[in-house]
């Protein structure tokens, strides 16, 4: 009977193509919204987000407003539970939410190599460490800006030479540019000699992050600048608070797309059943049981939804993989990346929606009044 279902769909191929296309577009949007949510979750959860701390100037938000003494690092290292401290100077071309934000992180090249989950795909660490204005660029930034090793890249008051391009197991890292700390501190116009934006603190395995954060703030309370220390995930969630609300709203857009697919496929299947009501009466007359008639209709709606949903999901994954999209605010970046979970989610939702959409038409096909239907012209 599977061949019968396929012939039925092909018989009304214009309607079938339009329904599949509508389902594909809706699932494309659903997967895109899902990738944004996944990117936010990756940024604010996980071992890196929970086992490292960010020391930031109290009551400051945009990186350009936080100015901490670099020598705070020595005091932070003395706190019990601290394994390593990395002073970081952050510069961004835009503190507001943007799809094309450029973020520079200045730190010690050796610490960057040891603490960051990045791998150079071209260029060399030696050139990065030895040349003051050298930078290593995340793969997504290089792709968006058309950069390659040896290029000179300028934005605002900053001009760097690309010494390497890297990829990372943490998608947000691929949207950053790393330079040496001294380069950003002494760049004309930044006026940051001896100052940093933040200190990133790596903890020992047995340390309690919240207790260590309190101890760091207490230790630095007598310093010239008050600090606020938080887990890295909490810090980034706070930094992206406006975007978090927007992403939460966009999540409902994903559910609306699922509802659109449900309505579209259900309407199409119902029209198909009503157009062939006499045909279903004939099928029952020759011995097709009601449950089999239901299965025929459910198969029809499921095929429509699966073909459209899987096509939309694949297009979304391809666009996410090629585009290297990201959105950021105040120096924190949310990367949109394809994932196996996203693919499984798209296929599963398509299957479930296809079955639900076919229930009402399937019941109608199974309970068709034979005599009345056969009398219809």
Name the H helices within the chain. 2-11, 13-44, 47-50, 72-77, 109-115, 125-130, 139-145, 181-185, 209-219, 232-239, 241-275, 277-285, 290-323, 340-357, 359-366, 370-375
- My answer on whether 39 and 64 are in the same domain is no
- My answer on whether 197 and 260 are in the same domain is no
pLDDT at residue 79 in the model:
93
Spatial CB neighbours of 171, under 8 Å, sequence gap ≥ 6: 39, 42, 335, 337
- My answer on whether 220 and 359 are in the same domain is no
The answer to whether residue 362 sits within a structural domain is: yes
Whole domain around residue 264: which residue ranges?
2-43+242-375
pLDDT at residue 376 in the model:
59
- My answer on whether 66 and 106 are in the same domain is yes
- My answer on whether 115 and 159 are in the same domain is yes
The answer to whether residue 234 sits within a structural domain is: no
- My answer on whether 64 and 193 are in the same domain is yes
pLDDT at residue 102 in the model:
86
The answer to whether residue 55 sits within a structural domain is: no
The answer to whether residue 191 sits within a structural domain is: yes
**pTM listed for this prediction:** 0.78
Count of the separate structural domains present in the chain: 2
The answer to whether residue 230 sits within a structural domain is: no
pLDDT at residue 377 in the model:
46
- My answer on whether 287 and 257 are in the same domain is yes
pLDDT at residue 343 in the model:
93
Single out the residue in 225, 254, 276 at which a domain terminates: 225
- My answer on whether 207 and 65 are in the same domain is yes
The answer to whether residue 233 sits within a structural domain is: no
The answer to whether residue 329 sits within a structural domain is: yes
Single out the residue in 195, 225, 255 at which a domain terminates: 225
Single out the residue in 225, 260, 283 at which a domain terminates: 225
The answer to whether residue 357 sits within a structural domain is: yes
pLDDT at residue 50 in the model:
78
**219, two tokens:** 């230790």
Asked if 140 and 174 count as a contact pair (C-beta separation under 8 A), the reply is: yes
Count of alpha carbons within 13 angstroms of residue 194, beta-carbon side: 2
- My answer on whether 318 and 361 are in the same domain is yes
- My answer on whether 221 and 247 are in the same domain is no
Short-list 269, 270, 333, 336, CA closest to 303: 269
pLDDT at residue 55 in the model:
93
- My answer on whether 264 and 188 are in the same domain is no
What is the full per-residue pLDDT of the chain (377 aa) written as tens digits?
Answer: 778 777 777 887 888 888 899 999 999 999 988 888 888 887 777 666 778 899 999 887 777 788 899 999 999 999 999 999 999 999 887 777 666 788 899 999 999 999 888 999 999 999 999 998 999 999 988 988 889 999 999 887 789 999 999 998 888 888 899 999 999 888 876 777 889 999 999 999 899 999 999 999 999 988 889 999 999 888 887 777 767 777 777 778 888 888 988 898 888 888 877 777 676 667 667 766 778 778 888 888 898 899 999 999 999 999 988 877 777 777 777 888 888 999 999 999 999 999 999 888 888 777 766 655 556 54
- My answer on whether 65 and 146 are in the same domain is yes
């Amino acid at each position: 009977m599977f061949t019968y279902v396929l012939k039925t769909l092909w018989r009304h191929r214009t309607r079938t193509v339009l329904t599949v296309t509508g389902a594909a577009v809706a699932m494309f949007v659903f997967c895109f919204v899902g990738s944004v949510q996944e990117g936010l979750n990756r940024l604010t959860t996980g071992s890196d987000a929970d086992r490292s701390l960010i020391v930031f100037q109290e009551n400051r938000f945009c990186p350009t407003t936080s100015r901490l003494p670099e020598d705070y690092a020595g005091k932070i290292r003395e706190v019990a539970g601290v394994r390593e401290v990395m002073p970081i100077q952050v510069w961004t071309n835009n503190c507001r939410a943007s799809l094309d934000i450029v973020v520079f992180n200045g730190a010690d090249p050796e610490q960057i190599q040891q603490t960051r989950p990045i791998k150079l795909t071209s260029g060399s660490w030696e050139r990065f460490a030895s040349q003051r204005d050298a930078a290593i660029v995340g793969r997504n930034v290089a792709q968006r800006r058309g950069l390659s090793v040896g290029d000179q890249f300028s934005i605002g008051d900053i001009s760097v030479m690309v010494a390497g391009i890297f990829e990372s197991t943490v998608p947000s890292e691929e949207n950053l540019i790393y330079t040496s700390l001294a380069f950003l501190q002494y760049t004309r116009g930044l006026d940051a000699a001896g100052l940093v934006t933040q200190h990133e603190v790596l903890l020992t395995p047995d340390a309690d992050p919240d207790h260590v954060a309190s101890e760091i703030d207490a230790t630095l309370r007598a310093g010239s600048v008050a600090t606020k220390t938080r887990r890295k995930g909490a810090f980034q969630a706070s930094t992206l608070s406006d975007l978090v609300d927007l992403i939460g709203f966009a999540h409902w857009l994903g559910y609306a797309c699922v509802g659109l697919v449900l309505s579209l496929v259900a309407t199409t299947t119902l029209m198909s059943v009503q157009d062939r009501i006499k045909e279903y009466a004939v099928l029952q007359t020759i011995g097709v049981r009601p449950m089999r008639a239901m299965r025929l209709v459910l198969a029809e709606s499921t095929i429509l939804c699966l073909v459209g949903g899987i096509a939309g999901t694949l297009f979304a994954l391809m666009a996410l993989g090629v585009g290297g999209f990201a959105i950021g605010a105040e120096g924190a970046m949310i990367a949109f990346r394809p994932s196996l979970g996203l693919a499984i989610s798209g296929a599963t939702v398509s299957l479930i929606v296809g079955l639900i959409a076919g229930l009402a038409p399937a019941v109608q096909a199974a309970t068709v009044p034979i005599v009345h239907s056969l009398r219809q012209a």
